[in-house]
Amino acid sequence: MPARTDPLELKLEAILFAGGAPLSVKELTDKAGETDFRAVQRALRHLVRAYSNRQTSLEIRRAGDRFALQVREEFLPSVHSVQPIEIPPRTLKALTLIAYHQPMLQSVLVKMVGESAYAEVAELQSFGLVHAEPKASTLQLTTTSRFAEYFGIGSSRPDQIREFLAKKLGLPALAEGGAPAPASDTEGPSVLPDRPVPPPVAPGETG
């Protein structure tokens, strides 16, 4: 007989799925109607472990101090035909900065746009537009081939993407690592077309 799952773990799993964005332990504690955040932390650790040991297309990924339930990167190509959603302006801004400065450290993006960068990166990964590799205590961010394909850029090479964006921004195309930042106003105009991107699939649809 299989071991009984902690009801709090099931509640957290449901909240993470329905949340639609990475959530902090405090937010999870409040939404679960709990008073002891330490119990939520323990249940969350067990849930993360369970997903990592389970044969599933989903994972619970940590983004800074937040957690998100999302499709594993290797399965993203299979969900891109799902009903699309719109990319919020601030997420599109983060994507533009990553594309322009890639390879870009997540810690640098945080300095540019604030703590929301963790949530934006997690969302962009779920869309299949950004790839993240661990580097020291942070992540190194690059765009994917899907990014170039989706926004109609003729190449997935970082230098050519940077040249494309430089023209859009009215800036000279600089060598890798030397590109200046686009305007940093929080909701400034996007240099990328605001196009719909397929969302992650529901847990029940992937088995």
* pLDDT tens sequence across 152-182: 787 888 888 888 888 777 665 555 444 444 4
Maximum average pLDDT range among 67-71, 111-115, 144-148: 111-115
DSSP state of 198: P
Distances (CA, A) of 4 to 7, 123, 152: 9, 32, 49
Residue 30 has pLDDT above 80, yes or no: yes
pLDDT of the residue at 127: 81
| Prediction pTM value | 0.56
Residue 65: band (very low, low, confident or very high) from pLDDT cuts 50, 70, 90: confident
Is residue 75 exposed (0-12), middle (13-18) or buried (19+ Cβ within 10 Å)? middle
Query: For the chain, what are the domain ranges?
Result: 7-54, 79-197
pLDDT of the residue at 135: 87
Would you mind telling me the total number of residues written for the chain in this entry?
207
Instruction: Say which CATH class 79-197 falls into.
Output: mainly alpha
Residue 66: band (very low, low, confident or very high) from pLDDT cuts 50, 70, 90: confident
Q: What is the mean pLDDT of the chain?
A: 77
